């Protein structure tokens, strides 16, 4: 029941929209022959359809299906082919394109600091201690 209350607090307008489409309102619960369990079943069994306000609210990336992912992949590949072609013909200013950001996919680029924030080797050896400190001497 707590999860249902939290859901109503966070996604109330979207849930109201879905209920209105079913001919009901949130204020109808738990009266008129419908229970909180009925509402819970409606929420848990919600379908991915273009009109489901709650489903859209719970899944902000709802527009990205298989077709959209494949289209982004095609665009990425075409942009990369363009980059390779330019680089092969001597364009030194060409930079590799960044892929189109996809929902749920994080950037794999790992940054480990820069020279301004790097630790000198002697301080690193001291920090590691033991045999590493002896290597620096």
Q: What is the pLDDT of residue 57?
A: 73
CA distances from 60 to 43, 54, 68, 79 (A): 16, 10, 15, 27
Task: With a cut of 90, say whether residue 54 has pLDDT above it.
Answer: no
Q: What is the pLDDT of residue 135?
A: 59
Stated pTM of the model: 0.45
What are the pLDDT digits (tens) for 58-103? 767 767 878 888 999 999 999 999 999 999 998 888 889 999 988 7
Rounded Cα distance, 79 and 129, in Å:
49
Taking the CB of residue 15, how many other CB atoms lie within 10 A of it? Answer: 22
- Give the pair of three-digit tokens for residue 29: 């619960």
Q: Where are the domains of the chain?
A: 2-58, 64-103, 107-137
Where residue 48 falls among pLDDT bands split at 50, 70, 90? low
């Amino acid at each position: 029941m707590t999860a249902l209350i939290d859901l109503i607090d966070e996604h109330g307008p979207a849930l109201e929209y879905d209920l209105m489409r079913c001919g009901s309102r949130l204020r109808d619960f738990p009266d008129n022959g419908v229970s909180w369990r009925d509402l819970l079943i409606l929420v848990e069994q919600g379908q991915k359809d273009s009109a489901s306000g709650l489903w859209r609210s719970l899944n902000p990336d709802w527009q990205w299906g298989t077709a959209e992912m494949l289209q982004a992949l095609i665009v990425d590949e075409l942009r990369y082919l363009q980059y390779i072609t330019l680089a092969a013909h001597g364009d030194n200013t060409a930079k590799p394109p960044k892929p189109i950001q996809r929902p749920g996919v994080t950037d794999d680029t790992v940054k480990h600091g820069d020279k301004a924030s790097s630790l000198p080797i002697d301080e690193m050896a001291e920090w590691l201690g033991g045999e590493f400190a002896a290597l620096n001497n």
